[in-house]
A and B are shown apart, each in its own frame.
Chain A
């Protein structure tokens, strides 16, 4: 009897659960929680961003935050707010820490859109986190403009609301390869880490090598967090290429240079992503970094300027004054991200997403960070990638020619003659 009672109550509850599930529940309420605040005296544009403060991207996340912060401080306190028609709008930027974790990032982007009701989104740091964040922005039709996700797959999903001010990864080695081809290089080998961003860089390198008449002798991949690249380098040594292209992260640059010297592998030029434009590489590896070439999104010595922050050098000065350290290119591209949105809003003379989206599509400006001109996939097609070379322990821009400050040293002498 007791068993029957138990079973009956169980069935009752179970059927209630099923009934509740089968009813069509209402769509989630995504109404503005504080719609009334629109009546505020002061007009405010709300921006939102989930950027790593902790986790594996904490270092670059800090640069990104400071880059956004610089623009925010400037636009509110110095520029006097964004002009929308005849009105001036102050900007409020809501920033959260995504911890470098995709689950947390997704939750925060959802929150920014549906609870904080931001008008526009700024991107997180890294291609990896931009992948999931941009999908959420796309779902809700929110514009996400970013400056820290360059991997090609991001722009192959047909998103209408994703814009990136940085030069896409496929163009990373373009300026350097073009310049080297002009200086007589004939052959190239490529090694890259098997993750999204370096793969896009390497695919681009093969494309541009063919474009500039360079013969690709060999392509090798290696896993993330590799500890030793001497196997790849000794294979390449036998091919005797003119150019070595290495795509990876900071530590890989250290490994490439050390392995090349140890194995007496003598390409006439070494082009390595990420590492060389960072002064820490010279500190860590020392004099062996001489002649190494690296692509760079931006350097303070580049000859770009705009009517907002002035020249690149003036921007760097302002940044150092505010944050107490020179800007990395991650910081500069973050400022440029916010600036591009700012200009687009002013050109649209509206806060309407569709109007701003159209303005972004038609945007064609030169900023301290370089030209910004989005293609139909949201990539910045207007900006060439710069290239630097380490000469006498200094990081000097050698390409493109209109931003270069010095001549490329080519070919690099063999290790034994240095």
Chain B
């Protein structure tokens, strides 16, 4: 949350000639109540946005961005705050999507009558959370890269299982959902989900629960010694992240009207979540949402200008983030001395 303790050198430097003096206080303010108030104000503006007479395309773009923000924030809860880098988080998206698909079509399971969207949506989240409990119990015991690889394996395994369980999932042919599209409804639904998730993360970060998660990230054995029930905390964080990812997956299946194993259980979606969180600032509240918005527009920009090299460009960007600003945009702005780009910025500011 706070700005951390700046190194003495950079403190001196900041006192001598602060290049962008408003940044550090802004960073710390955002982590507090003011951040939440600003966030709610932003939500209010976004809620009013459709009144300005925008086209359905703008609403659709809006709901797509809300989806990305929600996914990135969810990933950040387990990957950033708890420090368990989940390379298979898209598995919860896929499970949510499939639960939605199976319940609303009803056909593969011969459920009669078919469920409505509003009944199936919470079920998507619950199913994903239960699945998180199931895989979390064994995998969250693993540390570091072992957990990442186990989750990646889970994702690939679920994709194959979805392919094999043809009577339920339609196999590789996939499922066609009823083509009912409502861009305005989608916009408000995803705005609400995003608002809820980000506010929840803000609250978690300030709560004892969140502090315990951070303690687990910094020193799991130490946290355990101090009486934190680490297993319970990790599972809880994992299930919360999975629940909302499942909700988003269910929503996505509904608005895309078509799912198959290769379109919902896809590694690229996890990579996207990781990139957004890292670009914005791992473990911060506002970093992942910021990263999601930046990446969304950056992708558009790269695609528009680089055609078939946009994936290369994104890859280079990811490497650059890791090398030059491992703490993301917010981390770099908040405590510049900790990253090479931040130091570079300070140097440039000083030489002016």
CB distance from B298 to the nearest CB of A (A): 14
Interface string of B190-217 (1 = CB under 8 A from A): 0110010000000000000000000000
Contact A223 B48 (CB under 8 A): no
Cβ of A235 under 8 Å from chain B: no
**0/1 per residue, B154-172, Cβ < 8 Å to A?**
0000001001001000011
Contact A21 B192, beta carbon cutoff 8 Å: yes
Which residue from chain A places its CB closest to the CB of B268 in the assembled complex?
Answer: A101
* Minimum CB distance partner of B32 in chain A: A6
The answer to whether B256 has its CB under 8 Å from any CB of chain A is yes
Q: Is the CB of A114 within 8 A of B57?
A: yes
Please state if A132 and B256 are interface contacts (CB–CB under 8 Å): yes
Q: Of B35-43, B81-89, B320-328, which binds chain A?
A: B35-43
Interface extent on A, as a size class? 35 or more
Shortest C-beta distance, B96 to chain A (Å), equals 16
Quote the shortest CB–CB distance from B221 to chain A (angstroms). Answer: 36
Contacts of B64 in A (CB 8 A): 103, 107
B54 close to A29 (CB less than 8 A): yes
Q: Inside 8 A of A157's CB, which chain B residues have their CB?
A: 176, 179
- Chain A, residues 189-206, CB within 8 Å of chain B (1/0): the string is 000011110010000000
Given A14-B40, A131-B258, A196-B173 in contact, is the A6-B33 Cβ separation under 8 Å? yes
CA distance A111 to B59 in the complex (A): 11
* Residue among B48, B181, B258 facing the most chain A CB atoms (10 A cut-off): B258
Name the A residues within 8 Å of B256 (CB-CB).
Answer: 102-103, 106, 132
Q: Contact check, A139 vs B181: say whether CB atoms are below 8 A apart.
A: yes
State how many angstroms separate the Cβ of A256 from the closest Cβ of chain B.
18
Q: How far is the CA of A16 from the CA of B160 in the complex (A)?
A: 46
- Asked if B160 contacts A223 (CB within 8 A), the reply is yes
Q: How far is the CA of A217 from the CA of B140 in the complex (A)?
A: 48
A44 to B56, CA, bound (A): 24
Q: Is A128 an interface residue (CB 8 A)?
A: yes
Binds A, one of B228-236, B238-246, B303-311: B303-311
Chain B binding surface, main DSSP class = helix
How many interface contacts (CB-CB < 8 Å) are there between A and B? 128
Nearest CB to that of B68 among chain A residues? A103
Query: Once the chains bind, are B60 and A13 in contact (CB under 8 Å)?
Result: no
In the complex, which residue of chain A has the Cβ closest to the Cβ of B41? A13
In the assembled complex, A54 has its CB within 8 A of some CB on chain B:
yes
Q: Is the CB of A111 within 8 A of B57?
A: yes
CB neighbours of A199 from chain B (8 A) = 171-173
CB distance from B339 to the nearest CB of A (A): 32
CB of B172 within 8 A of CB of A20, answer: no
CB contact between B176 and one of A54, A58, A131, A224 (< 8 Å): that residue: A131
Pairwise interchain contact A25-B50, C-beta atoms closer than 8 A: yes
Query: Considering the chains assembled together, what is the distance between the CA atoms of A14 and B262 in angstroms?
Result: 40
* Chain A minimum-CB-distance residue to B182: A139
From 43 to 59 in chain B, residues with beta carbon under 8 angstroms from any chain A beta carbon are 43-44, 47-48, 50-51, 53-59
Nearest-Cβ distance from residue B55 to partner chain A, whole angstroms? 5
B134 within 8 A of A: no
Determine the distance from Cα of A153 to Cα of B259 in the docked complex, in whole angstroms: 12
Contact A97 B303 (CB under 8 A): yes
Is the pair A115, B179 in contact by a Cβ cutoff of 8 Å? no
B43 & A196 in contact (Cβ 8 Å cutoff): no
State in angstroms the CA–CA spacing of A173 and B171 once bound together. Answer: 22
A53 vs B308: C-alpha distance when bound (angstroms): 8
Rounded to whole angstroms, the CA-CA distance of A221 and B181 in the bound complex is: 34
Q: Indicate whether A135 sits within 8 Å of B36 (C-beta atoms), given known contacts A20-B48, A224-B172.
A: no
Instruction: List, in ascending order, chain B residues with CB within 8 A of A58's CB.
Output: 308
Partner of A28 from B50, B176, B192 at Cβ < 8 Å: B50
Tell whether, in the assembled complex, residue A17 and residue B53 are in contact, meaning their CB atoms are under 8 Å apart. no
**Residue B136 at the chain A interface, CB threshold 8 Å:** no
CB neighbours of A21 from chain B (8 A): 47, 188, 191-192
Assuming the A-B contacts A20-B44, A199-B172, are A110 and B57 also in contact, with contact meaning beta carbons closer than 8 angstroms in the complex?
yes
**When the two chains form their complex, are residues A9 and B37 in contact, meaning their CB atoms are under 8 A apart?**
yes
Q: Find out whether the CB atom of A17 lies under 8 angstroms from the CB atom of B40.
A: yes
B56 to A196, Cβ gap below 8 A?
no
Give the residue of A110, A136, A223 whose beta carbon is less than 8 angstroms from that of B163: A223
A26 proximal to B (CB < 8 A):
yes
A108 → chain B, closest Cβ, in Å? 9
* A residues near B310, Cβ cutoff 8 Å: 54
Residue of B nearest to A105 (CB): B256
Count chain A CB atoms within 10 A of each CB in B171, B172, B184 and give the residue with the most: B172
Do residues A29 and B44 form an inter-chain contact, with CB atoms below 8 A?
no
The B-contacting residues of A in range 34-61, CB under 8 angstroms, are 53-54, 58
Please indicate the chain A residues that have their CB under 8 angstroms from the CB of B172 in the complex. Answer: 193-196, 199, 221, 223-224
Contacts of B57 in A (CB 8 A): 107, 110-111, 114-115
Contact B262 A224 (CB under 8 A): yes
Which A residue's beta carbon lies closest to that of B308? A54
Given A110-B56, A115-B55, A194-B163, CB of A153 within 8 Å of CB of B303: no
Of chain A, the residue at the smallest CB distance from B306 is A54
- Residue of B40, B180, B260 near A13 (CB, 8 A) is B40
Chain B positions within 8 Å of A224 at CB level: 172, 262
- 5 A-B pairs (CB sep. < 8 Å): A14-B40, A115-B57, A131-B258, A132-B256, A157-B176
Residues of B with Cβ closer than 8 Å to A? 33, 36-37, 40-41, 43-44, 47-48, 50-51, 53-61, 64, 160, 163, 166, 171-174, 176, 179-181, 183-184, 188, 191-192, 195, 255-258, 260, 262-263, 303, 307-308, 310
Question: Other than the known A17-B47, A58-B308, A223-B163, what 16 A-B pairs have Cβ atoms closer than 8 Å?
Answer: A13-B44, A17-B43, A20-B44, A26-B53, A29-B54, A97-B303, A102-B256, A128-B260, A128-B263, A132-B258, A156-B176, A193-B172, A194-B166, A194-B172, A194-B173, A196-B174
